[in-house]
Structure 1
Amino acid sequence: MLLTLSNKSVNTAFLALLTLFTHYGAMAQDSAEAVESGKNCDNTGCIEVDSWHLAVALGVGAKINPLVNGDDLPLVILPDIAYYGENWYWDNAEVGYQWNASSNWNIESFVSVNTEKALFTFWHPGNLLLAGSFSSITAKPVGDDEGGDTGNTLLPPTSRVSNSASSEEKVSVDDVAHRDWALDGGFRFHYSSENSEWALTLATDVSSVYNGQWLKFDYSNKFDWQGWQIQPTLSVEWKSRELTNYYYGLDADDNLPGASLYEAKAGWQPAIKLMAMKPINDQWTWLVMAGYQYLHGGMRRSPIVNKKSIITAFAGVSYRF
């Protein structure tokens, strides 16, 4: 009970702070100069202020699903949709506000669809949109005793899996209870130089689905090689016990006769992502993407998980309208 109240308090405070900062950010920008460059840039190029970015990637690819009996996800047609105003933006499954978009550093407040649900259903922005398919990538394992709560309060000791790697019992994802969609709200801090970018993202569940938080740090660098623009990204992400346990834990709601229950812990996890682009003409671009995400211990030891990582790959072309 104390843990539940504590996390609800954290989420309430986080949401209040998000609303407050967005409000005062908007007031400050009303008297500020327009964006100096007149553009917002992302992995697929720059977008003029007050304009739409519409593109679609066509090719062959897949995301390997780590869940027991989970279907691997085909990547064939991936839309990329965005709109950037001077401050407000909509980028695929995320809506946000940029406080000082003309500077080398920037702070965003945002609301986005949480990506964990993407492993449980095909019809999710994380599987259907170009950015979603390659954005939830993360970085550094710290062993089987990753930092975080042991979570002894939710399940009685006699019915709980011990969180040890020796547990071999596996459960099909088709046999567990439905996992709901969730909305996250948070802040993202950017610092960019000519060819590199650092980003720190902090987010919490604002939909009261899993009542937890996550934190992510990204570093990316881009360079040219034989006409290709190459951009590797290294990431590290922390997922709270509440987030991990909601999606990968097992409790009485899963109604599994004879199966041990499992309470997942928090943890850090690593990832690497690589994107390569080569223009064909003004609208067509060769596009190759690959990602490797190592699952943290609380996820790997879950009875509904039978792989240690998520591998994603895609090769094709992108057309920009």
Structure 2
Amino acid sequence: MRVLQAATLLLASTWAFAGDKDTLDDGYVEQSSWRLSLAVGAGQSSSPLYDAANMPLYLMPDISYYGKVAFFDNGILGAGVDLSPHWSISLVSRLNPEKGYFYRWHVSRIPSMEYTFANMPTVSLDARTAEQQVSVNEVERRPTAWDGGVQLNAWFDDWTLRLNGWTDISGQHHGHELSAVAGRQLGTAWGQWRFSAGLFWKSENLMQRYYGLGPDEATYLPRYQAKASLQPELGLYWSLPLTDGWRMMAFYRYRWLDTAMTRSPLVEQSYQHSWFLGWSYRFF
């Protein structure tokens, strides 16, 4: 109830400050310049694993740079070229996000500013006894992996499309990931809204390295062999420009985890979600 009251007060104060403005942060990044924003508020990024704590979100940085070829965008480093006014292709690299679920504080668990939604798949999480579960505190530390890949972007009026193919270039899990994300932005008198839809496929090797059991882990359990996983995600992002540089923002993101993941003895929940409500200020 206190959280609901705080959110109501926060929104009420926003309407009081929002009005006619000559200069607003429209989110655009000029070529060969840095963008730095910081959001302050309240939120959470959950972990679906046994005994893995949820990560509180109080501060959310937004850092990006786009040159003529090279760019950095919130943890993704790449270089790309425009194929046409509506299409671009890039070589990209990133820190693999799977390890983040095993820790309360991990940089890969900070949600990006892109949110997705899709049709809900069939998922199940069978009731397990304590003898069928294993805590993240009882298994070996999962590796930090670095992925490389290709990214294809497209823009059509208010619609966007992003296709990614990732592979492990650090030799830690020898797996791959494919994703497709489509989104639409809508401007209203009540702020800017962004809806998107995405689907994420993760290979068997990737899933086994992070959610399978090694030969020396939880020896009292049958060996679990992970399969390739297909994970859709839905999300909604909202922002309301205030004065120069300031905006009110909120988002909610929900990802369904299929049986390839939920059957792992490490996994307690059949979903992962993140939410945040606060203010954002763009420094430059």
- Shorter-chain TM band: 0.7 to 0.9
Q: Which structure 2 residues correspond to residues 44-193 of structure 1 after superposition, within 5 A?
A: 45-100=27-82, 103-128=85-110, 131=112, 135=114, 139=118, 143=122, 165=126, 168=129, 169-193=132-156
SS at the partner of 2:82?
A: coil
1:80, distance to aligned residue in structure 2 (A): 1.2
Cα distance in 2 for partners of 1:91, 1:269 equals 23
Distance 1:139 1:179, change over 3 A: farther
> What SS class does the counterpart of residue 244 from structure 1 fall into?
helix
Cα distance in 1 for partners of 2:203, 2:115 equals 15
Encode CA deviations 1:171-201: one digit per residue, 9 max, x unaligned. 1111011101111101111111110111111
Match of 2:215 in 1: 252
Q: CA deviation at 1:139?
A: 4.5
Give the secondary structure class of the aligned counterpart of 1:252: coil
- Does the C-alpha gap of structure 1 residues 88 and 187 become closer, same or farther in structure 2, counting only changes over 3 Å? same
Distance 1:186 1:136 in 2: 20
Q: Could you state the TM-score of these two structures normalised by the residue count of structure 1? A: 0.75
- Cα separation, 1, equivalents of 2:123 and 2:149: 28
Tell me the alpha carbon deviations over residues 253-307 of structure 1, each in whole angstroms, 9 at most, x when there is no partner: 42x2422221111021110111101101121100001100001211111101010
Instruction: Indicate how the Cα distance of structure 1 residues 223 and 136 shifts in structure 2: closer, same or farther if over 3 A, else same.
Output: closer
Matching residue's letter, 1:184 = D
Alignment: residue pair count: 257
Q: CA separation in 2, counterparts of 1:262 and 1:104? A: 45
Which stretch of structure 1 is more off in the superposition, 214-223 or 261-270? 261-270
- Alignment counterpart, residue 236 of structure 1, candidates 171, 194, 199: 199
Per-residue deviation, 1:93: 1.1
Structure 1 stretches of 4+ with a deviation exceeding 3 A read: 134-145, 164-168
Displacement, 1:113?
0.7
Matched, 1:217 2:177: no
Letter in 1 for 2:95: V
Secondary structure (helix, strand or coil) at the match of 2:192 reads strand
Task: Describe the SS at the equivalent of 1:261.
Answer: coil
SS for the counterpart of 2:225 is coil
Q: Which has the higher helix share?
A: 1
In the aligned structure 1, how far is the partner of 2:114 from the partner of 2:191?
21
Q: How many angstroms does 1:313 deviate by?
A: 0.6
2:268 aligned with 1:310, yes or no? no
Which segments of 5 or more consecutive residues in structure 1 lack a partner in the other structure? Answer: 1-42, 146-163
- Deviation of residue 215 (structure 1)? 0.3
| Percentage of identical aligned residues | 31
The 3 A distance-change label for structure 1 pair 101 and 83 is: farther
Q: Offset of 1:207 from its aligned partner?
A: 0.5
Q: TM-score, normalised by structure 2?
A: 0.84
Deviations 1:146-178 (A, max 9, x none): xxxxxxxxxxxxxxxxxx957651111110111
1:199 to 152, 159, 162: 162
Deviation at 1:71, TM superposition (A): 0.1
Contact 2:193 2:239 in 1 (8 A): yes
The code of the aligned residue for 1:267 comes to S
Deviations 1:19-46 (A, max 9, x none): xxxxxxxxxxxxxxxxxxxxxxxx9711
- CA–CA distance in structure 1, aligned partners of residues 61 and 83 of structure 2: 25
Shift of 1:217: 0.6
SS at the partner of 1:46? coil
- Secondary structure at the residue paired with 1:199? strand
> 1:92: Cα distance to partner?
1.9
Would you say the 8 A contact 2:55–2:105 is kept in 1? no
How big is the alpha-carbon RMSD for the aligned residues of Structure 1 and Structure 2? 2.2
What do residues 5-60 of structure 1 show as CA deviations (whole Å, max 9, x unaligned)? xxxxxxxxxxxxxxxxxxxxxxxxxxxxxxxxxxxxxx971101111111101000
Once the two structures are TM-superposed, the CA of residue 238 in structure 1 deviates from its matched residue by 0.5
Within 2, Cα distance between the matches of 1:47 and 1:82? 8
